[in-house]
Structure 1
Amino acid sequence: MRRGLDDAAIRLLSASKKDQHANGELRRNVARILRHALEQGSAVDIDGLGTFLPGRNQGFRFVAPTKPRVFIAYVEEDLAASKKLYLAFEQHGFRPWLDKKKLMPGQNWPRSIETAIESSDFFVACFSRRSTTKRGSFHSELRYALACAARVPLDEIFFIPVRLEDCVVPGRISKKIQYVDLFPDWDKGLKRVLGVMQGQRANRKRKRLPLAG
Structure 2
Amino acid sequence: MMTFLQNFRVAIVCLSHRSINKIGFVQREVKFTLDVAEEQPEGSIFIIPAKLEECDIPQRLHQSQWVNLYEQDGYKRLLLALRVRAKAFTITE
Q: TM-score, normalised by structure 2?
A: 0.90
Q: What letter corresponds to residue 64 of structure 2 in structure 1?
A: I
Match in the other structure for 2:2: 114
Cα RMSD after superposing both structures: 1.3
Match in the other structure for 1:201: 86
Match in the other structure for 1:138: 26
Partner Cα distance (1:206, 1:168) in 2: 35
CA displacement, residues 122-160 of structure 1 (integer Å, 9 cap, x when unaligned): 110000000111112111010011010001011321111
CA displacement, residues 72-105 of structure 1 (integer Å, 9 cap, x when unaligned): xxxxxxxxxxxxxxxxxxxxxxxxxxxxxxxxxx
**Which runs of 4 or more aligned residues in structure 1 lie more than 3 Å from their structure 2 counterparts after TM superposition?**
none
Which of 43, 53, 60 is the matching residue for 1:165?
53
Q: Report SS of the residue matched to 2:31.
A: helix
Match in the other structure for 2:42: 154
Give 1:204 shift. 1.9
Structure 1: gaps of 5 or more residues:
1-112, 209-213
Give 1:183 shift. 1.0
CA displacement, residues 12-40 of structure 1 (integer Å, 9 cap, x when unaligned): xxxxxxxxxxxxxxxxxxxxxxxxxxxxx
Q: TM-score, normalised by structure 1?
A: 0.42
Does the CA-based 8 Å contact 2:67-2:77 persist in structure 1? yes
Does the CA-based 8 Å contact 2:51-2:67 persist in structure 1? yes
Partner Cα distance (2:42, 2:53) in 1: 29
Q: Name the % identity.
A: 29
- Greater relative CO (CA pairs within 8 A, separation 6+): 2
Give 1:202 shift. 1.2
Give 1:203 shift. 2.1
CA displacement, residues 50-86 of structure 1 (integer Å, 9 cap, x when unaligned): xxxxxxxxxxxxxxxxxxxxxxxxxxxxxxxxxxxxx
Q: What letter corresponds to residue 143 of structure 1 in structure 2?
A: K
Which of 160, 169, 183 is the matching residue for 2:70?
183
